[in-house]
Structure 1
């Protein structure tokens, strides 16, 4: 999106959604007895792919 001066602005909702997904993945990982912090950090890089990996991971 461009402002009045023609400079590109970032859409912050994308970053908020990605961060929210990472928090959800951390909670999901904790429910499967896995390290929430590791999965949170992994989710920041992999996003929805980490969610699918967690959905099919077996509970420890």
Structure 2
């Protein structure tokens, strides 16, 4: 049982790290997405997949 919980926690943490990396690639704060992913998990991944890249004032992607 403990092994199952540990594997679940490692998977959840890995997902949070992946989300932070994707967020940084899209011009978002990796730290906030990491923390949000620790709480929301796969739901945060779903939202991150549909968030557009941040743009600067001239309309260009960062």
* Count of residues in Structure 1 that have an aligned counterpart in Structure 2: 53
Q: What is residue 21 of structure 2 aligned with on the other side?
A: 27
Runs of 4+ in 1 over 2 A off after TM superposition: none
Q: What does the per-residue CA deviation read over 1:7-58, in whole Å, with 9 as the maximum and x for residues that have no partner?
A: xx36200000000000000000001000000000000000000001000000
Of Structure 1 and Structure 2, which has the larger fraction of its residues in helix? 2
CA RMSD of aligned residues (A): 1.0
What residue is the counterpart of 1:16 in the other structure? 10
Long gaps (5+) in structure 1: 2-8
| TM-score normalized with structure 1 length | 0.84
- Residue matched to 1:58: 52
* TM-score, normalization by structure 2: 0.81
Rg bigger for which structure? 1
